[in-house]
């Protein structure tokens, strides 16, 4: 069965590799954003860490996706000795790495604001639960689409709450409905 499906299974293995043994200076890579790294360290969550994609060529571990992840973990842990999970490809050449880097996100469907909001509610996020509770106190519902009694502008609700607070969101909802 697996042999029949092998063309859909990447030829990789997973390995813990110390950050100091990773190289990420390929020409196709984005410039490292230390602003992004520092912000991510402030909100570090181990459960949000993805494996780093590595092409092992001539015994060197070239990162072709995950250089920011490596730097975030190094800064958060205080050590480049910290090992990270790597998805290792042993059979790629430089141009294939660059092609994967350039095209791997082409068919990824980004989450919509409503989907993120809903998932945060299910996760028990205080902010989203407070917003949902306030909206529902006016007999309204947060919805992915426009319908009577529904609010689909979840991003606007969150922005008002984050910038101006609960009271302002309450006044906006009170006036509108």
Chain segment 57-70, per-residue pLDDT in tens: 999 999 999 999 99
Contact (CB, 8 A) for 65 and 100: yes
CA torsion sign for 137, 138, 142, 147 is positive
pLDDT, position 62: 95
pTM over 0.75: yes
pLDDT at 72: 97
- Counting as low any pLDDT under 70, the low residues of the chain are 1-2, 176-177
pLDDT of residue 160: 96
Tell me how far apart the alpha carbons of residues 11 and 13 are, in angstroms, rounded to a whole number: 7
Local structure of residue 44 (DSSP, 8 states): -
Check residue 1 and give its pLDDT.
64
For residue 26, the model assigns a pLDDT of 77
């Amino acid at each position: 069965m697996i042999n029949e499906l092998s063309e859909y299974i990447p030829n990789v293995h997973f390995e813990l590799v110390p950050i100091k043994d990773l190289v990420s200076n390929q020409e196709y890579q984005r410039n490292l954003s230390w602003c992004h790294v520092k912000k991510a360290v402030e909100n570090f969550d181990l459960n949000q860490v993805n494996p780093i994609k590595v092409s092992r060529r001539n015994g060197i571990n070239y990162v072709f996706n995950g250089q920011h992840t490596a730097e975030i973990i190094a800064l958060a842990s205080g050590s480049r000795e910290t090992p990270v999970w790597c998805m290792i490809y042993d059979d790629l050449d430089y141009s294939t790495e660059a092609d994967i880097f350039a095209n791997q996100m082409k068919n990824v469907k980004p989450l919509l604001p409503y989907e993120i909001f809903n998932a945060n509610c299910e996760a028990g996020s205080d902010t989203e639960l407070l917003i949902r509770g306030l909206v529902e106190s006016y007999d309204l519902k947060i919805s992915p689409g426009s319908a009577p009694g529904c609010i689909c502008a979840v991003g606007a609700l969150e922005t008002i709450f984050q910038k101006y607070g609960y009271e302002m969101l309450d006044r906006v909802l009170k006036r509108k409905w």
